[in-house]
Structure 1
Amino acid sequence: MKKILILLILLTYSFCNAQKISFDYDAAGNQIQRNWCITGCHSKTSNEIPKEIADLKPEDLQKFFPEDEISYYPNPIKEQLYIKWELINDNKVTSLEMYSLNGQLVKSYTKLENTNNQTVTFGTYPSGIYTLLLLYTNGEQKSIKIIKE
């Protein structure tokens, strides 16, 4: 009886994990397609290998805030996030703070006034959603949500 129960649990588990639903969206965020995959499902991004920072092109970077030309790559991430900024009106980024989903400060980068980029390493942190907060010399703050796979 135990063997049958274990077999039934394993079959149920494998069947549940074999099914996936994927969605495609247009540029405005509207759902345009829904696919149901029963077996042999693969993530669209699972085969993508993140580019090295030295190999990035301007079109690879996602825009953070268009008025300040802040961009980042990649999101979602596995190991490292590259952030680059070109600020206007001599407003400079003084520090960058990374928070976990529960609001705990995870990492802080300070004294960034003389640079225009930062590499944030996520390799040792668990999967989840993180918030990056950029602090400016004029007191402004801007945040972005980053997903760590």
Structure 2
Amino acid sequence: MIKFLLIISFLLCFTSRAQTKITFSYDAAGNQTSRILCINCLSKTAKEVKEIEVITNDDLDPFFEKDVISYYPNPVKEELYLQWQLIKENYVTSVNVYSVTGQLLRSYSGNERLNSLNIPFQTYPAGFYLVLLSYKDGGEKSIKIIKQ
């Protein structure tokens, strides 16, 4: 009798519906707009799930619409090469290199006429670093760099 009840309870566990779920809605910027408790929700079927085969440039959200920032190599061994093309009259006012702990290691300023910069990494130990570009209009862009 105990085996029979054990088998019945085991089967009930597998045939019962999923637990209650909370569903979220988001706006175009990615901010959560609503949270709804859904007691008898059905999960998404395979038809509702969008399959992505290839990522195109239209799928990516740029930080700035026309600004282009290139950097290589990452991971870096000796020197990091930065190059940027900014729109309108915007320019890079300073480039700062930070350690993982937030310590300022090096600062480059006076880059109004430049559109590229070489940052030596030979003296830094292996690890993670942050390169922060500050713009004339107050904007900033950070880049994570790995030093081998």
CA distance in 2, matches of 1:101, 1:64: 23
The question of whether the paired residues in 2 share the 8 Å contact of 1:99 and 1:131 is answered with: yes
The DSSP-based 3-state class of the residue aligned with 2:88 is: coil
Aligned to 1:119: 118
Partner of 1:91: 90
Tell me by how many angstroms 1:67 deviates: 3.2
Q: Secondary structure at the match of 1:126?
A: coil
Q: CA deviation at 1:64?
A: 8.8
Counterpart position of 2:73:
74
SS of equivalent to 1:84: strand
Q: TM-score, normalised by structure 2?
A: 0.56
C-alpha deviation, 1:146, in angstroms: 0.2
* Alignment of structure 1 residues 94-109 onto 2, 5 Å: 94-109=93-108
Label 1:75 to 1:121 Cα distance change in 2 as closer, same or farther (>3 A): same
Q: Distance in 1 between matches of 2:64 and 2:141?
A: 9
How high is the TM-score relative to the length of structure 1?
0.56
Deviation at 1:65, TM superposition (A): 6.5
Query: Quick one: distance in 2 between partners of 1:97 and 1:65?
Result: 20
Superposition pairs of residues 52-63 of structure 1, within 5 angstroms: none
- State the secondary structure of the residue aligned to 1:78: coil
User: CA contact under 8 A between 1:64 and 1:144: conserved in structure 2?
Assistant: no
Distance 1:86 1:98 in 2: 20
Check the 8 A contact 1:65/1:71 in 2, yes or no.
no
Please state whether the residue corresponding to 1:146 is helix, strand or coil. Answer: strand
Unpaired segments ≥5 residues, structure 1: 1-26, 29-62
The question of 1:129 aligning with 2:117 is answered no
Percent of pairs with identical residues: 53
Q: Tell me how far apart the structure 2 counterparts of residues 147 and 64 of structure 1 sit (CA, whole Å).
A: 21
Alpha-carbon displacement from aligned partner over 1:63-110 (angstroms, at most 9, x marks no partner):
996731110110000000000011001110011000000000000001
Partner-residue secondary structure (3-state), 2:100: coil
Which of the two has higher C-alpha Rg? 2
Change (3 A) 1:105 1:67: same
